[in-house]
Amino acid sequence: MDLPVNPPVAPMLAKAVPAVPVQPAGGEPEWSYEPKWDGFRALIFRDGDEVFIGSRGGKDLARYFPEIVAAAREELPTKVVLDGEIGVPSAIDGTQRLDWDSLAQRIHPAASRVTMLAATTPAIFIGFDALALGTVAVKDEPLRIRRETLVEAIGPGGRDRRFHVSRVTTDAALAEGWFAEFEGAGLDGVVAKRLAGRYVENKREMVKIKHKRTADCVVIGYRVHKSGTGLGSMLLGLYYDGDLRMVGGAGAFTDAKRIELQEMFEPMRLDPERPAAGEPTRWRSEKSGEWIPIRPELVAEVAYDQMENGRFRHTVKFLRWRPDREPESCGYEQLEVPLTYDLRDVLEGQD
């Protein structure tokens, strides 16, 4: 490639903060706000027919997203470098939103499966920064200039296109509204960038505000740690219409805690001789692997960010035991349900 900015490039990162930063009183705004897209971070490099999709770690993702490569050749200028997120839109509960499960399945070693998934679960790219256009690098320009370059490179977008521009605002109150509303479209919070800031590789120059919540769940089983000693993760469930459904797992315990938890759960095993495995059932999914079911008697409070398809989107964090809660009282109704917001409205609406 012969671009003003060539791969690999380490993307600029964000640090977590508890609230949307406010603009200074009086004068010009300092911050630009945008939705936080929960997909695969990717930098798109196009030099003629050559397209490189750089992951956060610098690997080329192009082979996994042939539809993005084709769209880059059709929709983008001949020479361009963009930063953004790759996501897979899907109709979930009648609303278009980003589908993390479908996106995760796109990383597959078999070329035939990659081709099939590109047709059945095609991805889109949501651009939120630009590093170069034509023969000009804008990496060291302030965000205002990079944003203008991004809009020029991608154009107006549209439902029939794969490349889109993330909406932005300088209105902190509007950004706080996005934080609540856009979660229903599969978004993960809000990102704020300094309007005067430059693009700094591998540095946490942006700030992010993510959803954090707690839920009381029933412990329905556990996996043994990969070392063979202690608990690797505990499996969690919630009741729905009298049925106890697996919703995810909690891990990241210390060595001492892993052993303590395994010793606690061992006497509660439903089948002392063999772990659960085999075809998916209401107790397990294809992703849950081999695990050991226990009597559903313990209630744990956990921290989570989002739900998707009735499950926690990411691994949750164990907070504390809740001996005051009956397992049967731990249902989906306790969860904060985000407003329903269609992904297409997020992509197409600009202030």
Q: Using one digit for the tens of pLDDT, what is the confidence trace for 88-145?
A: 998 877 788 888 878 988 988 899 999 999 999 999 999 999 999 999 999 999 999 9
Letter string b/e over residues 146-181, b meaning 16 or more CB atoms within 10 A of that residue's CB: bbebbbebbeebeeebbbbbbbbbeebeebbebbeb
pLDDT of residue 61: 94
pLDDT of residue 337: 63
Lowest mean pLDDT among 119-133, 271-285, 293-307: 271-285
pLDDT band of residue 315 (cuts 50, 70, 90) is: confident
The residue ranking higher by pLDDT, 69 or 107, is 69
pLDDT band of residue 342 (cuts 50, 70, 90) is: confident
pLDDT of residue 346: 85
pLDDT of residue 338: 64
- CATH number attached to the domain at 13-210: 3.30.470.30
Q: What mean pLDDT comes out for the span 234-253? A: 92
CA angle 190, 60, 85 (to 5 degrees): 15
Lowest mean pLDDT among 48-52, 134-138, 141-145, 246-250: 246-250
Q: Say if CB 125 and CB 163 are below 8 A apart.
A: yes
Q: What mean pLDDT comes out for the span 70-94? A: 93
pLDDT above 90 as % of the chain: 58
Return mean pLDDT, the chain: 88
What are the sequence ranges of the domains in the chain?
A: 13-210, 213-334
Name the active-site residue from 36, 79, 139, 193: 36
- CA distance readout (Å), 339 to 108, 178, 184, 281, 345: 33, 11, 5, 30, 13
pLDDT higher than 70, residue 275: no
pLDDT of residue 278: 37
pLDDT of residue 119: 96
Q: What mean pLDDT comes out for the span 59-70? A: 96
pLDDT band of residue 349 (cuts 50, 70, 90) is: low
pLDDT of residue 124: 96
CATH class of domain segment(s) 213-334: mainly beta
pLDDT higher than 70, residue 302: yes
Q: How do residues 178-236 score in pLDDT, each as one tens digit? A: 988 888 787 888 999 999 999 999 898 999 998 778 889 999 999 998 888 899 999 99
Is 36 catalytic? The answer is yes
Q: How do residues 253-269 score in pLDDT, each as one tens digit? A: 999 999 999 999 999 99
Letter string b/e over residues 40-55, b meaning 16 or more CB atoms within 10 A of that residue's CB: bbbbbbbeeeebbbbb
**Fold: same for 13-210 and 213-334:** no
